[in-house]
Amino acid sequence: MRAFLNGLYQAAGYAAAIFMIGTLLMVVAGIADRMFALGWRGTDMYAGYSMAAAGFLALAHTLKRGEHIRVSLVLHAVSDKARRMLEIWSLLVASLLSGAFAYYTIRLAYQSYDFHDISTGIDATPLWIPQIPMAIGAVILFIAFIDDLLMEILGRRTAAGSDELLRNE
């Protein structure tokens, strides 16, 4: 199961990187269209869709690498037992919030599909299509928080530390 979950987080990170490349390609295509009047419309919208997909798909991967912003000032000032309780409490709250977030992003994509909602831009893309990567990213983030919560409760969680902590600039 551990290998599957780590693979899931890694795959989400790779997918985020691919969507970042998609963002770059759409921006370059938009620039080329403006310079040479190629008739490529909607590149700005697709760049935005790719950027949103990249952001959401990168959430779990970033969490598991210890790169999310954490305010650990209180954690360093309390005992080990209190630190563990605070970690469990914060992971429980994060799991609940990310679960609600995942539920509502799935619901949004389904409603966009059900109502045949399309973008207001020139591309007229059905909105459920760019909302799917957002929902997938939110679900994977929820899974990552549940994973961290269970590992913390079982005493097997190894919090990934960011290299940023090593730099003191």
pLDDT tens readout for residues 44-75: 999 999 999 999 999 999 999 988 887 788 88
Mean pLDDT, rounded, for 7-31: 97
Kindly tell me if the per-residue pLDDT of 167 is higher than 50.
no
pLDDT of 169 strictly over 90: no
Question: Rounded to an integer, what distance in angstroms lies between the CA atom of residue 165 and that of residue 168?
Answer: 7
| DSSP per-residue string spanning 18-36 | HHHHHHHHHHHHHHHHHHH
CA atoms within 13 A on the CB side of 124: 1
- Structure confidence at residue 162 (pLDDT): 52
Amino acid occupying residue 137:
G
**CA-CA distance, 6 to 11, in Å (whole number)?**
8
Least confident piece of the model among 69-78, 88-97, 130-139, 148-157: 69-78
